[in-house]
Amino acid sequence: MSNRDRISPDENRHSVAGKSSPTQAPDAQSQEQKLQTMISALWDRSRHTVVERAAMLRTAGDLLLANRLDQATQQSAVDSAHKLAGVLGTFGLPRGTDLAREAEVLFGQSTPPGKVEIERLQVLLAELTRLIDRGPIGSS
C-alpha cells in the first residue's frame, strides 16, 4: 500500500501534507518538499507523545463508561485533547484535530455526559487512534 493510499482526501487540507501542485514553480516545490521531509521526520520523533495522549484519552473514556472518572483525570483528558487538537492538523491530520476538539468538548462538560455522548466518545476515540496509527502522508 502506498502512502497515498493510506489516508483519505479529507486528511489533505494542508498542502504541506500532500504533493506539490503541478502549477508551482520548481523553487516552491522544492521548498515544500524540503519542509514536508522535515515535518515527517519530526512526526516520527514526536509520535510517541501523540500516541501517549491518545492512550490517555482512551483510559479516561473507559473510566467515564464505568462511571469512575475523577475530576483530575477528567481535566487531564481535556488538556490532552486540547494539545492533540492543536498539533494533529499541523502535522497534516486535520480530521484528527476535529476529533480531538470533539473529545475536548465531551470531556469538558460540567455535567456528566449521557449514554449517547459516552458512546460517541468511544467511537471518536477509536477513529482517532486509527488515524494516529496510520500517521500523515510521508511518515514511516
Binding-site ranges for another protein (CB under 8 A): 14-16, 31-32, 34-35, 38-39, 42, 46, 49, 79, 82-83, 85-91, 94, 97, 101
The three three-digit cell numbers of residue 137, written as one number:
502522508
Residue count of the chain, please give it. Answer: 140
CB nearer another protein, residue 19 or residue 65 = 19
CB 85 within 8 A of CB 129: no
CB nearer another protein, residue 85 or residue 131 = 85
Q: Which amino acid is at 80?
A: S
Closest CB 3 distance from another protein, rounded Å: 18
Closest CB 7 distance from another protein, rounded Å: 16
CB nearer another protein, residue 32 or residue 117 = 32
CB 85 within 8 A of CB 100: yes
At residue 27, the 3 state secondary structure works out as: helix
